[in-house]
Structure formats: structure tokens, C-alpha cells
Amino acid sequence: MTEPTGADRDAATARDAEAVSKFVESFAAQLVEAGMQRMPARVFAALLSSDSGAMTSVELGEQLRISPAAVSGAVRYLAQQHMVSREREPGSRRERYRVHSNQWYEAITNREAVVKRWEYALREGVDSLGGDTPAGRRLAETLAFFEFIETEIARMMDRWRVHREQHFGKD
Amino acid sequence: MTEPTGADRDAATARDAEAVSKFVESFAAQLVEAGMQRMPARVFAALLSSDSGAMTSVELGEQLRISPAAVSGAVRYLAQQHMVSREREPGSRRERYRVHSNQWYEAITNREAVVKRWEYALREGVDSLGGDTPAGRRLAETLAFFEFIETEIARMMDRWRVHREQHFGKD
DNA sequence: CCTTAACTTCACAAATTTGTGAAAGAAGCG
DNA sequence: CGCTTCTTTCACAAATTTGTGAAGTTAAGG
């Protein structure tokens, strides 16, 4: 063997596999409880708790004890949600999956597409029930709430970026 | 029959059952897509688009064509999530389920319990991986993000209450 | 080009979730 | 108190979801 099996074995960054696994499973469990699918949740937690913030398909399969097919499905989902990005390490056919902290903060707050569809459905509702009926007014107010939320969240993320830079630097 | 079957049949507030149902199903579908269970989503949408903002178990069962058991399960879930409240109309064993707009705006943004558990898991992770490791630092920053979000959302809801009062009055 | 390593797709079995009918449990009203 | 009406609980069948092995596809490197 010319290279160590699995992840980085450098003494300075040696990982306590047990501790990592414990975190991965408990954080993933919380994500699942919040509605995320199991495999994406586990893969995401694994990436989040890796030192480099990136892992290959094989590494993920080994750590989580899941098949390549499961890894594939999970990362496809995560990539679609913009919570993870794929990288090709040059001169290899291995793919690397990376969690960019910034990126996933945006992804988790940016339910923009979801909210837009809610707003669309609500507008349809207001139209067809009539803005002058009690129900129509309730829907209209709900719509206003989401519109409000949408702009507020954008501003909140602006403030976060400032806050983050102050506390953690640009990185 | 001394009272009309189903909901209010007063001409002024006559509901186009078809239109209501269309909205209910399409809005519910969006909620489902966002991770909500089907029955709670449908029940919630039905309440939201009712003129009075409240319906009995029987009315819900009729409109949605579901069994009493399904209604029961759905409203239990919605009540737990504080998206709906139960009322007993005095002098009847009928229960009424009501959506208070205010209440459900809070419920939807107030993922407090969820976020708290995420934060707890992240703190555990930082502790066990060590705040001086790259992974530990990533988890710590993620934790900071959620703490930030938590206070910001509380303020956002304060602003919403003001905004709402200006645009829709106290009601 | 051919080989081979890596990822993806697909069909399917297992596990989980969902909604129902039936029975049991409350609570008003006589 | 017991009847009646409404709601909840429970066991189960149906439907859906999940993760796998195996076959298929892609692309690097000879």
C-alpha cells in the first residue's frame, strides 16, 4: 500500500472515527426528523464533519456503510438542492463532493422556489375565491406574509454575511 | 332537515365548491412537496380556504372525502404543530378546528424546537471533534449561523406584526 | 481503440408509511 | 344513568419509499 486506506491519517488531523460517526448519525437523525431523506442527511452530515469538507464517493460509502448506488442517489439530491457541489479532481475519474458552508446556508434559507410556488397557488386561490370574500381575504393576507418573509430573509442573509466576516474572517 | 347540509349556503357567501376544492388540492400539493404529510396538508388547506376559518370534523371529512379516522389523525398533528386550534362549540359534542392566521405564521417560522435540536447536535459535535480541528471549526460556524438565524427570525416576526397591522388592521 | 476504474441507472425485495373499517371511548341530553 | 352522537384508537391491507445488487455507461490512460 502506498497510501493509507480511507481518509487522512496525518497525526495532527487524525480523526476519531468513532466520534465522527456518532456526530454524523445524531446530526443526520435531526435532519431526518426535520423532513430530509435519510441518505442525503447522512451524506451531508459526513461531509460537514470531514476535515477537508470534501469526500469521494468511495470514502462516503465506507464511512456510512452504504452502496455506491446509495451514495449516487444521495449526492444527486444534495447537488440539486445546492447543498453540495461536485468537483472532478483533475487526472482521475474520482468525483469529490464538497460542502461549501456559505453555499448551504443559502440553500437552507433560500426556499425561494418553494415559497414562490406557495405564492403562486395562493394567488390562484385569491383569484378564484374572490378578493372580497372572507376566505379570499385570508388567502391574500397569507400571500402578503410570504412576500414579506421573502424580502426579509434576503436582508437577513446580507446581515449574516457581515456578521460572519467579522467573526470568522473571509476564508 | 332544519339546517342545510354541509357548509354555509347563504347567497352572499355561497362557495363555489369546485373552486375551493381546486385550491385546496393544489395548495396542499405544494405543502406536501415541501415535506408535509398529505392529510394534514389537505386539512390545513381546507381550513385556510373556508370562509369562517373553522370547520367541524364531519365537514372536513365530507369535503376531502376521507374517513373520520383520517381527520382525527390530521388535526392531532396540526394541533401539535400549533397550526390549528381545537374549539368545542358549547352545547354540542362537535369539535371545531380553526386556523388562526397569526398562529400559523408563528408556527411556520418558529421551527424553534427543530433548530434547538440541531444546535444541540452541533455543540456535541464541536466538543467531541475539538474546536481546534478544521471539522470542529466548520461545525462551530454552522452553529453560529443557526444562533444568528434564531434571533433574526424573532425580530423579523416583530416587524411582520407591525407591517400586518398597518396593512390589514388588528382583527 | 481497448481496458479498466468510477459513477449511474434499473428492477426488485424489504421496510415503512398511509388511510381505512371496526370497535372502543367520551360527553351532552333526556 | 343510559342513549346517542361524535371522536379516537387499533390492527391491518394497500401503497409508497428505500437501498441494494447487477448491469450499463462514461471517460482516463495506456
Query: Where a domain ends, among A50, A72, A99?
Result: A99
What is the total count of domains within chain B?
2
Average pLDDT score over residue span B53-70: 97
Query: Where a domain ends, among B74, B99, B124?
Result: B99
* Domain shared by B95 and B118, yes or no: no
Residue B55 lies in a domain: yes
Interchain proximity B128–A168, CB inside 8 Å? no
Average pLDDT score over residue span B99-127: 89
Cβ–Cβ contact A11 with B under 8 A = no
Please tell me which residue of chain B has the smallest CA distance to A12: B133
Please tell me which residue of chain A has the smallest CA distance to B163: A148
Q: Name the stretches of chain A with pLDDT < 50.
A: 1-13
Closest CA to B161 of A148, A131, A111, A122: A148
SS3 call for B43: helix
The alpha carbon of residue A16 is apart from the nearest alpha carbon of chain B, in Å, by 8
| pLDDT tops 90 at residue B97 | yes
Cβ-contact A27, B118 below 8 angstroms: yes
% of chain B surpassing 90 pLDDT: 73
**Could you give the CA distance from residue A10 to residue A27 in angstroms, rounded to a whole number?**
26
Closest CA to A75 of A62, A61, A89: A61
Nucleic strand D within 7 A of Cβ B87 = no
Distance C17 C1' – A39 CA (angstroms): 17
| pLDDT tops 60 at residue B6 | no
Residue A6 lies in a domain: no
Beta strands at B54-56 and B95-98: parallel, antiparallel or unpaired: antiparallel
Query: Where a domain ends, among B78, B99, B120?
Result: B99
* Domain shared by B91 and B119, yes or no: no
How long, in residues, is chain B? 171
Cβ–Cβ contact A13 with B under 8 A = yes
β-strand partners of A87:
A96
- In the prediction, which pLDDT does A65 show? 96
Distance C20 C1' – B39 CA (angstroms): 13
Q: What is the CATH number of the domain that holds B46?
A: 1.10.10.10
Residue A150 lies in a domain: yes
The alpha carbon of residue B154 is apart from the nearest alpha carbon of chain A, in Å, by 11
Average pLDDT score over residue span B37-65: 97
Q: Residue B43 is part of which domain span? A: 11-99
Cβ-contact A119, A143 below 8 angstroms: yes
Q: On the CB side of A141, how many CA atoms lie within 13 Å of its CA?
A: 24
Considering only CA atoms, name the residue closest to the C1' of nucleotide D22: A69
C-alpha cell at A30: 435531526
* Nucleotides of chain D touched by protein CB (<7 A): 5-11, 17-22, 26-29
Residue B4 lies in a domain: no
* Domain shared by A18 and A70, yes or no: yes
**Could you give the CA distance from residue A66 to residue A59 in angstroms, rounded to a whole number?**
10
Interchain proximity B26–A144, CB inside 8 Å? no
Beta strands at A95-98 and B85-88: parallel, antiparallel or unpaired: unpaired
